[in-house]
């Protein structure tokens, strides 16, 4: 039986409204899993992931970071990358409920930009977490912006930070599944622009995580499509090698594009995540 998705809102520390979804486990949950989607998209594109995790015995939370999907905030705009951490912290407070503390382990799962958010959060707030899963973490963009666009982005970050430019990510580079590509192209909640400040803040966050990855100690699983044309698979491997976790695993998927959770072989990827979690959280 598939349990229904519950919808609610919370607020980040600056009162930005954050859209949240939850699915309970049918029985006592093995752990809570909080899912952060990628840049420009929204949690609705991962309902199949939420449902699979719930069916496997996990209480699942998903949300739209500020400027994404059904959350508040200017589209694709942040003043500081740390604002995403505030959004995630607000969702984590929901997992604690009225008790004010987590009664079950909490796992973070982030895709692409969500992986960058989760990895960075683990670097400073890992003591709150039981484990993390990074799906194609956005550690370096596979195709660099043109010289002019980079120059404009960096120059405008301070003087016109909300300047929006096309991200120019071909939908066909996300997945081999034509249905996924078609839905992405027509999805009104998908934002296909970047702002100047987001660009410089994302670049800075990538460098900060690579330099400080040895401070990530939580058990961590890194998953990467080897034919990713959006984020650089080599950078994901570099991050993995630098992680300070004693319990870490890297899985590469030959031939898969960027959105491994929305690829034709997505059931295999999701099963790999559940199997990894079950080893650590299955009830004895």
Residues serving a catalytic function are 112, 228, 258
DSSP H or E segment with residue 10: strand 6-11
| CB-based contacts of 95, cutoff 8 Å, min separation 6 | 32, 34, 59, 61, 102, 106
DSSP assignments along 31-53, one per residue: -EEEEE--TT--GGGGHHHHHHH
Nearest CA to 179 out of 259, 255, 112, 125 is that of 259
The residue behind tokens 């990895």 is: 119
SS3 128: helix
Contact 145, 73 (CB under 8 A): no
Contact 256, 173 (CB under 8 A): no
SS3 135: strand
The tally of CA atoms less than 13 A away on the side-chain side of residue 112 is: 22
Give, in order, the Cα–Cα distances in Å from 147 to each of 150, 166, 173, 231.
5, 15, 22, 18
């Amino acid at each position: 039986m598939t349990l229904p998705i519950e919808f609610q809102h919370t607020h980040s520390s600056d009162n930005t409204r954050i859209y949240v979804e939850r699915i309970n486990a049918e029985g006592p949950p093995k752990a809570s899993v909080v899912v952060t989607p990628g840049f420009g998209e929204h949690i609705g594109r991962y309902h199949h992931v939420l449902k699979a995790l719930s069916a496997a015995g996990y209480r699942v939370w998903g949300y739209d970071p500020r400027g994404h999907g059904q959350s508040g905030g200017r589209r694709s705009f942040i003043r500081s990358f740390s604002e995403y951490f505030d959004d995630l912290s607000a969702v984590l407070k929901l997992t604690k409920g009225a008790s004010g503390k987590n009664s079950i382990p909490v796992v973070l799962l982030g895709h692409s930009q969500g992986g960058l958010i989760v990895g960075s959060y683990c670097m400073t707030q890992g003591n709150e977490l039981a484990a993390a899963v990074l799906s194609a973490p956005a550690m370096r963009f596979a195709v660099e912006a043109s010289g002019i666009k980079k120059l404009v982005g960096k120059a405008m970050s301070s003087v016109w930070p909300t300047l929006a430019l096309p991200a120019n990510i071909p939908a066909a580079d996300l997945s081999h599944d034509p249905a996924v590509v078609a839905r992405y192209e027509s999805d009104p909640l998908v934002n296909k622009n970047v702002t100047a400040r987001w660009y410089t803040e994302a670049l800075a966050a990538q460098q900060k995580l690579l330099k400080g990855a040895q401070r990530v100690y939580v058990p961590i699983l890194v998953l990467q499509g080897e034919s990713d044309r959006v984020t650089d698979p080599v950078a994901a491997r570099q991050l993995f090698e630098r992680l300070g976790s004693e319990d870490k695993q890297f899985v590469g998927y030959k031939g898969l594009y960027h959105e491994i959770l929305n690829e034709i072989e997505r059931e295999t990827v999701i099963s790999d995540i559940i199997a990894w979690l079950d080893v650590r959280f299955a009830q004895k």
